């Protein structure tokens, strides 16, 4: 069974830092592109960042570029999001999500097929 | 950045009725790289449709997607009680992988 479990959320002051983790199991983590998506309270979904299987390709939303860093450790089946210079508008539930591939795991089909339960980040003084 | 605009914001319908949700892109989405998700309160989103018209694993056939270029549609042929939720479209043809603002399907 595919599982994605986020951790590391909490309350942090503006300008502070936080590191989110996502522990993956039930699939060959090292072959999948992974993503972070966030959702502010009562708002819609916002894609934050993605990282390819070997970390060769990394992309960010403009709203977090230069402040957030995505990374992964394939040996530990883990995805990370280092968040610096946090702002009130970064307050959200942060989800990790897996790119959707076909049953062979090699052909990218599109969309995000598995999501974690999310971890809440609150930026407030 | 491709901006996705979903309409209507809220759709009030009764069980058994047909729901038609729209997603319009600010520029053409390459290769119909568009997905639809369903989200219920307190839950993570669930992938419904990818490639504009392909149903994800386990998704009932009352859900269908269509469209290309800049105009896409999610249709729920006959609403079941469990279908009342918020629906989002997302394009993944170019970075950033933007989402629409969502359409809430509520019980009339």
Q: What is the pLDDT of residues A68-100, one digit of tens each?
A: 999 999 999 999 999 999 999 999 999 999 999
What pLDDT does residue B31 have?
77
> In chain A, what residues touch B54 (CB-CB under 8 Å)?
109-110
> In chain B, what residues touch A115 (CB-CB under 8 Å)?
44-46
Percent residues over pLDDT 70 in chain B = 100
CA distance A31 to chain B (A): 19
What pLDDT does residue B92 have?
94
The residue-averaged pLDDT of B39-55 equals: 97
How far is the CA of B92 from the CAs of A35, A114, B36, B102, in angstroms?
12, 16, 11, 16
Q: What is the pLDDT of residues A26-65, one digit of tens each?
A: 999 999 999 999 999 999 999 999 999 999 999 999 999 9
Comparing CB atoms, the residue among B1, B44, B98 nearest residue A116 is: B44
CA distance B28 to chain A (A): 17
For residue A87, what are the contacts with CB-CB under 8 A and spacing of at least 6? A14, A123
What pLDDT does residue B65 have?
97
Count interface pairs A-B at CB distance under 8 A: 68
How is residue B32 written in tokens? Answer: 């119909």
Pick among B97, B98, B101, B102 to test the A interface (most A CBs inside 10 A): B97
DSSP state string for chain B: ---EEEE-SEEEE-TTS-EEEEEEESSPPGGG-EEEEEE-TTS--EEEEETTTEEPTT--TTEEEEEETTEEEEEESS--GGG-SEEEEEE-SSSS--B---EEEEE-
The residue-averaged pLDDT of A92-113 equals: 91
A6 and A97 in contact (C-beta within 8 Å)? no
The residue-averaged pLDDT of B8-29 equals: 96
CA distance A92 to A60: 17
Pick among A112, A113, A119 to test the B interface (most B CBs inside 10 A): A112
DSSP state string for B19-42: EEEEEEESSPPGGG-EEEEEE-TT
């Amino acid at each position: 069974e595919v599982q994605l479990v986020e951790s590391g959320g909490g309350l942090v002051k503006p300008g502070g830092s936080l590191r989110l983790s996502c522990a993956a199991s039930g699939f060959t983590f090292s072959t999948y592109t992974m993503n972070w998506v966030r959702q502010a309270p009562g708002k819609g979904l916002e894609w934050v960042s993605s990282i390819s299987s070997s970390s060769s390709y990394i992309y960010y939303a403009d709203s977090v570029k230069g402040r957030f860093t995505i990374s992964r450790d394939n040996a530990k089946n883990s995805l990370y999001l280092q968040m610096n210079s946090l702002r009130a508008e970064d307050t959200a539930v942060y989800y990790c999500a897996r790119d959707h591939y076909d049953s062979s795991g090699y052909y990218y089909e599109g969309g995000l097929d598995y999501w974690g339960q999310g971890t809440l980040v609150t930026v407030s003084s | 950045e491709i901006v996705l605009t979903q309409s209507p914001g809220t759709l009030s319908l009764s069980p058994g009725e047909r729901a038609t949700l729209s997603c319009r892109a600010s520029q053409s989405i390459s290769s119909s790289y568009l997905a639809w998700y369903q989200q219920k309160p307190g839950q993570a989103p669930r992938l419904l449709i990818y490639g504009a018209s392909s149903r994800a694993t386990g998704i009932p056939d009352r859900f269908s997607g269509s469209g290309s270029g800049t105009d896409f549609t999610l249709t729920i042929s006959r609403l079941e009680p469990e279908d009342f939720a918020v629906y989002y479209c997302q394009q993944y043809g170019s970075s950033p992988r933007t989402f629409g603002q969502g359409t809430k399907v509520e019980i009339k």
